[in-house]
Amino acid sequence: MSLFAAIRLPREILFGKGQRHVIATVAARHGQRALVCTDERFAATVAFAEIIAALKSASIAVLVHDRVQPDVPRDTVAVCVEEARDFAPDMVIGIGGGSCLDMAKCAALLISHGGLLKDYYGEFKVPGPTLPLIAVPTTAGTGSEVTPVAVISDPDRTMKVGISSPHLIAAAAICDPELTMTCPPGLTAIAGADALTHAVEAFTAARRGTDPSLPQQHVFIGKSALTDHFALLAIKLLGRSLEKACRAPADEDARADVMMGALAAGCAFGTAGTAAAHAVQYPVGALTHTAHGLGVATMLPYVMKYNRAAAAAEMTEIGLALGLDGKDRSTAEMADATIDEIGRLFAAIGITPTLARLGLPADKLDWTAEQALGIDRLIKNNPRPFDPAAMRGLIQAAYDGDLAACVM
């Protein structure tokens, strides 16, 4: 028997227009004291005020931490936790973009287990369950509402670092597409491109075997039957609606598709993991300070071209999910058409096409390649292996904008 699958998800996922109105009902099942993590922008909205009022009406005491910063600087988590110490929350609610959700995960972790965030860097370092987390995304991209990962910025390290544990998965994910309606086109594009990259990398990830101990030893275990299901759903939804959501932000159906696509992509990569596009973005992001979603999307066509020889069949399925016509096309031709379509879509929504235009210094290409190759948890997921020369060649091709050079 070769069929193998694994998946780890929240106990409850609620999706649809108006679902924000049940936050208080869901929260009441988890306790009576809620620490709410959000940012200044969303804290000033009418929607946020309504959510807080509903929580209080349900007799839930609320402490709001509304100073979440992008990329969650490490020391800001300690500030949030110290503020919450005397309040003694019995749940944490994260409302906002991926950073707000990651802050909520980290706060729940430290309130529950103490210590320093660095004690938990890596996989399976969280010793047990944390305070229940309710995740409410207001952007459609990171998928953090359903993943076992929190990413933070550590000032003692060049690159961002991750904490990966099934214990970080939210108890409930509440996804209301109406909360994304005010998201500007540029952010919609970057977040949506991030989600599409998650889905493509999860679907093309290496198969890591059927060893029963694999999910017990690793958080990210490569593609499987269940992660493939969610990845293809994400690709279909984002392929048909991401461009439309950027062009017509008031289109409710497009907004719903993109948010569902981001959610499904999170369901896929939260177990399958991501690969080389994400590995390269870590050092590129550290040097250029560009948005994570922008960096991974810039890299995706080049990584797909590099992987084409090892994942042409998967790329054919991706192309079909994107709506391409596979009739009278060979697998190789369909794979190339799929890569071209990803490139066309990203160009249409304004994704930067090269590492040079992202601002990566020409004298940092060797360092970027070295650092990317060292992120083993991502590189081992890539369907085609890398050696130093191959990684350096990929970085050069993406810097120059030479897609053909990725065929090595």
User: Per-residue DSSP letters for 362-373?
Assistant: GGGHHHHHHHHH
pLDDT of residue 328: 85
| Per-residue tokens: 180 | 């994304």
Which pLDDT band holds residue 3 (cuts at 50, 70, 90)? confident
| Per-residue tokens: 257 | 């598709």
CB 179 within 8 A of CB 137: yes
Quick: pLDDT tens for 251-286: 999 999 999 999 999 999 999 999 999 999 999 999
Contacts of residue 233, Cβ cutoff 8 Å, sequence gap at least 6: 260, 261, 264
Q: What is the identity of the amino acid at 344? A: R
- The span from the first CA to the last CA of the chain, in angstroms, equals 35
Round to whole Å and give the CA distance between 309 and 304. Answer: 9
Mean pLDDT estimate for the chain: 95
Q: Give helix 252-272 / helix 225-247 axis angle, nearest 10°.
A: 150
- Asked if pLDDT for residue 352 goes beyond 80, the answer is yes
Round to whole Å and give the CA distance between 177 and 253. Answer: 9
CB 30 within 8 A of CB 187: no
Strand order in the sheet with 149-152: 122-123, 161-164, 149-152
- Asked if pLDDT for residue 8 goes beyond 90, the answer is yes
Q: pTM for the whole thing?
A: 0.96
Quick: pLDDT tens for 383-396: 999 999 999 999 99
Which pLDDT band holds residue 72 (cuts at 50, 70, 90)? very high
3-class secondary structure, 135: strand
Which pLDDT band holds residue 1 (cuts at 50, 70, 90)? low
| Per-residue tokens: 41 | 């922008």
Which pLDDT band holds residue 159 (cuts at 50, 70, 90)? confident
Q: What percent of the chain has pLDDT over 90?
A: 92
- Asked if pLDDT for residue 77 goes beyond 70, the answer is yes
